[in-house]
A and B are shown apart, each in its own frame.
Chain A
Amino acid sequence: NAGVTQTPKFQVLKTGQSMTLQCAQDMNHNSMYWYRQDPGMGLRLIYYSASEGTTDKGEVPNGYNVSRLNKREFSLRLESAAPSQTSVYFCASSEGQGPNYGYTFGSGTRLTVV
């Protein structure tokens, strides 16, 4: 039972480098999300995809882009990494949108930008 799979688990980038964080879910969920987790700030939503073919900005979208490749996969791209993007990134999915749906999370990607 894989659930939500994120790759890579760890990454170190130099300022200005680019990279893509991958996320895939096998639960046939419609909605997918990218969060970043910073100490003392909880989780903040970067982007989300309510359904295949749609994406929308969350609370902190600057410096990121996303692609909902298909129903299973939702990637997050950093075009020009900055030290402020050092964080732990979590992908999540939910069966649908709305207040009754909880989220299933991946195990995270720890990104350090030097």
Chain B
Amino acid sequence: GDSVTQMEGPVTLSEEAFLTINCTYTATGYPSLFWYVQYPGEGLQLLLKATKADDKGSNKGFEATYRKETTSFHLEKGSVQVSDSAVYFCALSAGFYGQNFVFGPGTRLSVLP
């Protein structure tokens, strides 16, 4: 079945450091790819998405490029802030029905001042 693999962390960075969180996927067909962010005590929020190969999703300084050849959707940010501390989930949606939306296990990011 479809699956998402991501580095589980925790990832600890200093403020203004460069961030990469790796995400790879396995899916039949051509999935859409998403990054969600969960701040402490809150639900998940959509951070960015890409719906086809070579698309780049971006939001709030975060970027991710849909790489079909490597089945990857790595999340990057050039300069992280303390306020970016959260759990980041990579996800895919491959089919028409709700059960085809698959989440990775999440990566906890802590940014130190």
Chain A residues in 8 Å Cβ range of B32:
99-100
Can you name the residue of chain B whose Cβ is closest to the Cβ of A58?
B99
Q: Are B43 and A107 in contact (CB under 8 A)?
A: yes
CB-CB nearest in chain B for A38: B105
Residue of B nearest to A4 (CB): B43
Q: Tell whether A105 pairs with B43 under 8 Å between CB atoms, given A31-B98, A33-B98, A99-B94.
A: yes
* B-side contacts of A92, CB under 8 Å: 43-44
A102–B49 contact, CB under 8 A?
Answer: yes
Distance A105 CA – B47 CA, assembled complex (angstroms): 12
Tell whether, in the assembled complex, residue A98 and residue B99 are in contact, meaning their CB atoms are under 8 Å apart.
no
Of the candidates A45, A90, A108, the one whose C-beta lies within 8 Å of that of B101 is A45
Given A90-B43, A98-B93, A101-B93, are A40 and B49 neighbors across the interface (CB < 8 Å)?
Answer: no
- Do A100 and B98 form a contact, CB below 8 Å, given A42-B89, A42-B105, A90-B43? no
Chain B positions 42 through 56: 1 when the CB is less than 8 Å from some CB of chain A, otherwise 0: 111110010100000
Cβ of B73 under 8 Å from chain A:
no
Q: Per-residue CB proximity of A92-111 to B under 8 Å, as 1/0?
A: 10000111111111111000
CA of A90 to CA of B96, assembled, Å: 21
How far apart sit A107 and B43, CA to CA, in the bound complex (Å)? 4
Q: Which residues of B contact A106 (CB under 8 A)?
A: 43
| Given known A-B contacts A97-B98, A99-B94, A42 and B106 have beta carbons under 8 A apart | yes
For the complex, is B76 an interface residue (Cβ under 8 Å from A)?
no
Q: Mark A43-84, 1 if CB is under 8 A from B, else 0.
A: 101001010000010110000000000000000000000000
For the complex, is A41 an interface residue (Cβ under 8 Å from B)? yes
Are B44 and A90 in contact (CB-based, < 8 A)?
Answer: yes
B105 and A59 contact, CB distance less than 8 A? no
B8 contacts chain A at the CB level, 8 A cutoff: yes
B interface residues with partner A (beta carbon < 8 Å): 4, 8, 30-32, 34, 36, 41-46, 49, 51, 89, 93-101, 103-106
